[in-house]
Structures are given as C-alpha cells and as structure tokens.
Structure 1
Amino acid sequence: MKIIQLEYFLAVVRYNSFTKAAQFLHISQPSLTTSIKKMEADLGYPLFIRTTKELKITEKGIQFYKYAQSLVETYHKTLDRMYDLNISDAPRIKFSILESTSSWIAMVIQQHHHEYETQRYQIVEQHSMETIISSLLNFDVHFALSNEKIERDSIVSVPLYDEPYVLITPKGAIQETEQKADDLQHLPLILPNRQYQVRKHLDEYFKHLNIHPNIVLETDRFEAATTFVHRGLGYTIIPRFYYQSFSANHLNAVKIKPSIERTIYINYLEQRKLSEPANTLIDECIAYWKFQ
C-alpha cells in the first residue's frame, strides 16, 4: 500500500464524497474509486458503505483512518526534515514558545543569528503541556518554553524567570495601582480558554481565595483578549511581560493583591544530541535571564 493511496482515503473521509475528494486531488472519480476498492481488497474489509444517497465510513474504516492519518503525517514530517537537510548545512532549529515570550526571544534570536548567519529557525506556539511534551518526545522541536516544570526523567526543565500576572484595563478605568483580588469578581473578565495552563493558574488562584469571577469572554490568545479590552468589553489578566507587547499599547497594567505569578521554563531532551547552534541558542536563552 502506498502513501498516495492513504492520502486518497483521507480525502474521501474529509469530504465525505468521492466527487469532492476527486476534485480536491485533481484526479478522476473512477480512478479514485478504483484506488479505494483496491485498498479494501488488500485490507480484506470495507472502509465505506456506499448507497445511492449517502456515503458512510465503517467502524473498521474509522480505526484505519487513525493509523492512516498518523502515517501520512509522519511521512510528510520526514520529507520536510530531509528537504531541510538538503538545502542547508545547518538544519533549522525548531522550538516552541509561549505567546508572551515572543518579545524577549526575538532579541535572543537576533544575537544568535549574528553568530550563525546561515542558521534558519522555525518557531511554533504551544500552550498545552501535553502538546509540548509530545513535541519534545517525538523530536518535532529541539526545545520548548513552558509555564510549568515538566516532571519527566528524559526531559531537562530549567527555570528561566518568574513573572506576575497583571490586570489589564482601559486607560483611566481604574485609578489605583493595585487591585484587591476580592474586587476582581465584580469586574467583567476576559480569560483564556480552560485547556490552557494560564487559565488553570487563574482558576486555582480564584478557588484558593474563594472568588467567583464574572467571566464574560474566553479566548485562545492574549492578543484577542487585549483587543476585547480595547473595545471596552471587559478586563483581562495576562502575564506581565506580555503587557510590553504592541497589542497592549494604550492599556493600563494594574498589580493584583495578593499577587499571582508563574515560572517560565526551557525544556529539552536530555539524551538528544543537538547541534552546536541549537545548544548555543538554549544557553543564550538561559544567559539572557541570568543577567536581567
């Protein structure tokens, strides 16, 4: 069975139609149908139930879909890595960051690029601890930033810095430089969605203080949250260093009392042999905060 056959199958599942899948793949519908029938014959079971009115995937087809999706994804990642090695003697350094870290990481990369002028980089944002750990263990990234320590024997988790959370308000909305936690429950709050670690920090903080926040909006990104504050839809609570970003221009940052803060970590696989530029970049991230 070939990768292209798996991609044909995935397209049919995605569009739930042989006609639409064939159009997407730029092949004829009879060719696509023949390919799927060949797959079913090789496997020894049907992947789809076809009627004149509808197309349904079988139970075994669902299980096969999971494996096919994983195989195709791995295949394309492998091609990407091989291409990367072909076009450069220095493969890309791939790492994941948090939204709030982009400002300082840009300065570290700028310095690093002066030392390694041919070096290329690939950066992704990852906020779920599960995703971060998976990316490290699957060699998808060389290192990752997180806002929790990763407790894994195979992963080195080095603390970089602590940063407090602050209440972001429209200019002049709150005159005080500090806001008591009890008063937060009287404000319309815009917070991250529940799957993110920042939200978990805030939920634990509120629970510990027996506070019932008035959450009017939930979002995936700090950028969206600050935009909603600009629009007068409420207040948000974000890490202090994100307040220095462009998105938070013309907004006020108010300290929260008692304070709530998080620690940012840099994480990498202990046994993975990294290139000199990748190791240097990790060292420079650690050094940046050592001298701040």
Structure 2
Amino acid sequence: MKIIQLEYFIAVVKYNSFTKAADFLHISQPSLTNTIKKIEADLGYDLFLRTTKDIKITEKGIHFYNYAVQLVQNYHQTLEKMYDLNMGHAPKIKLSILESSNQWVSQVVAMHQKQYQDQTYLASEVHDQSTILERLLNFENHLGLTNEQIVHDDIHSIPLYEESYVLITPKDTFPNRNKVSIKSLPLILPTKGSQVRKHLDDYFNRLNIHPNIIIEADRFEASTNFVHRGLGYAIIPRVYYQSFNARDLDAIEIKPTLSRSIYINYLKKRKHPERVLSFIDLCIYYWNIKE
C-alpha cells in the first residue's frame, strides 16, 4: 500500500464525498473509487458503506483512518527531516515558543544570524506543555520555551527569567493605580485549559475572588485588541506588554503580586549541533544581561 493511496482515502473521509475528494485531488472520480476498492480488497474489509445518496465510514474504517493519518504525517515529517540534511544547507533550528516571547526571541534570532548567516529557523507557538515535551522527545524540536519547569529525566529545563502578570487598561483610566481592585472589573482572560489561565484561576481561588469574566481569548494579541476597544481589562504577562500590540495601554501591577518563570528546555541525549547550543547560550545570555 502506497502513501498516495492513504492520502486519497483521507481525502474521501475529510470531504465525505468521492466527487469532492476527487476535485480536491485533481483526479477522476472513477480513479479515486478504484483506489479505495483496491485498498479494501487488500485489507479484506469495507472502509465505507455506500448508498445512492451518501457514504458512511465503517467502524473498521475509522480505526484505519486514525492509522492512515499518523502514517501520512510521519511520512511528511520524515521527508522534511531528510531535506533538512541537504549538505548544502544547515538544518533548520526548530523551536517552540510562547506568544509572550515573540519579541525577545526575534532579537535573539537576529543576534544568532549575525554569527551564522546561512542559518534558517522554524518557530511555532505551542502552549501545551505535554506537546512541547513530546516534540522534544521525538526529536521534532531542538528546544522549547515553557512557563513551568519540565521535570523529566531526559530534559534540561533551565530558568531564563521571572515576570509578573499585569492588568492592562486604556491610557489614564486609573489615575491612582495603587487603589485599583480587580474584584469587580470586567476582565478579559485566556481561555480555559491554557497554562496562564490555570495560574490565574489558582490565584483567584487562593484569594477567594470570583472574577467578572466578560471575554475569554486564546491569544494575548486578541485580549489587548479588546482592551483597545474599551471592552474590558486584560491580565497578561509583563513581557508581552512590551510588544507593539500593547502600546498606548497602561500596565498596572495586580496585588498581591502574581508571577511566573519562563524555562528553556532541550533534550539531554540528543547530539545538538554547535549552532543549536549557541542559540541556547544566546537565550540565556540575553536574560543575564537584562538582569
């Protein structure tokens, strides 16, 4: 069975239609139908139940689909890694970053590229710590930033800096910042499930505060845009307040103070190229000179 056959099958499931899948794949419908029949013959069971009106995936088809998706993803990831090994180019440095770290990471990349002018990078925002760990253990990323320490025998987890959370408001909304209470303010908070939201929920629970949450947003950029519109007040990490998007807003320390630590993480057993180790050192150096 070939990868292209699996991709054909995945397209049929995605569009729930042979006609639409064939259009997407730029092949004829009879050719697609014959491919699916060939897969079913090789497997010895039906993947779809077909009627004159529609198609439905079978229970075995669902299990096969899950395996097919994983196989196709692994295939393309492997191809990318093989291309990265092209001797004419240095492999990409692949890192997972936090939204709040975009600005300083870009400065570190600029510093690093002065030393390695042919270096390329792949940066992706990942906020789920288990996903970051999985990518490191599977050799998918060279390093990852987290807002909590990763405790794992195979991972170096090094603290970079500590930052407080701040309340951001339109300019001059609160002349006396020392008397601002978040208890009754209309708040814009990160969505449930994020690590930042967990920090904030724990904070509210400790202080027996029932926050007036009017908007939940999955990015700090969205939260600050809502503040710009006068829709409420957002709680964000202080480092993000330095970003372009948070200009023309005030940042007020919340009291009692709530803070978090940012860690850089990488795999112990991986033989990292000198360029990757240099990048890690630059991240640490950046925050050492900041302090």
CA deviation after TM superposition for structure 1 residue 32, in Å: 0.4
Give yes or no for the alignment of 1:289 onto 2:290: no
Following the alignment from structure 2 to structure 1, what is the Cα–Cα distance between the partners of residues 265 and 176? 38
Partners of 1:249 and 1:88 in 2: CA distance: 42
In the TM superposition, 1:23-42 aligns within 5 A as 23-42=23-42
Structure 2 residue 185 is matched with structure 1 residue 187: yes
Q: What residue is the counterpart of 1:279 in the other structure? A: 277
Give the 5 Å matches for 1:23-172: 23-86=23-86, 88-172=88-172
Say which of 215, 228, 233 aligns to 2:226: 228
- Structure 1 residue matching 2:226: 3-state secondary structure: helix
Tell me the secondary structure at the aligned position of residue 184 of structure 1: coil
RMSD: 1.1
Letter in 2 for 1:272: R
Partners of 1:194 and 1:19 in 2: how far apart?
Answer: 39
Partners of 1:161 and 1:177 in 2: CA distance: 25
Choose which of 191, 202, 205 in structure 1 pairs with 2:203.
205
Q: Deviations over 1:150-199 (max 9, x none)?
A: 1111111000010000000011222223455xx31211111111121000
Residue type of the partner of 1:290? N
User: What TM-score comes out, normalization by structure 1 length?
Assistant: 0.97
Secondary structure of the 2:269 match is coil
Q: In the aligned structure 2, how far is the partner of 1:273 from the partner of 1:22?
A: 44
Instruction: Give 5+ residue unaligned stretches, structure 2.
Output: none
Give 2:58's aligned amino acid. T
CA gap 1:87/1:56 in 2 versus in 1, 3 angstroms: farther
Moved over 2 A (4+): 84-89, 176-180
Q: Give the superposition deviation at 1:78.
A: 1.1
One-letter identity of the residue aligned with 1:270:
K
Over residues 209-249 of structure 1, what are the superposed CA-to-partner deviations in whole Å (9 max), with x where a residue is unaligned?
Answer: 11000111111100000000000110000000100101101
Q: C-alpha deviations, 1:33-72, integer Å up to 9, x for none?
A: 0000110111111111111111111111111111100110
Following superposition, the deviation at residue 87 of structure 1 comes to 6.8
Q: For residues 37 and 175 of structure 1, what CA distance do their matches in structure 2 show?
A: 72
Structure 1, gaps ≥5 residues long: none
Larger deviation: 263-272 or 97-106?
97-106
The number of residue pairs the alignment matches comes to 290
Cα separation, 2, equivalents of 1:20 and 1:174? 56
SS at match of 1:140: coil
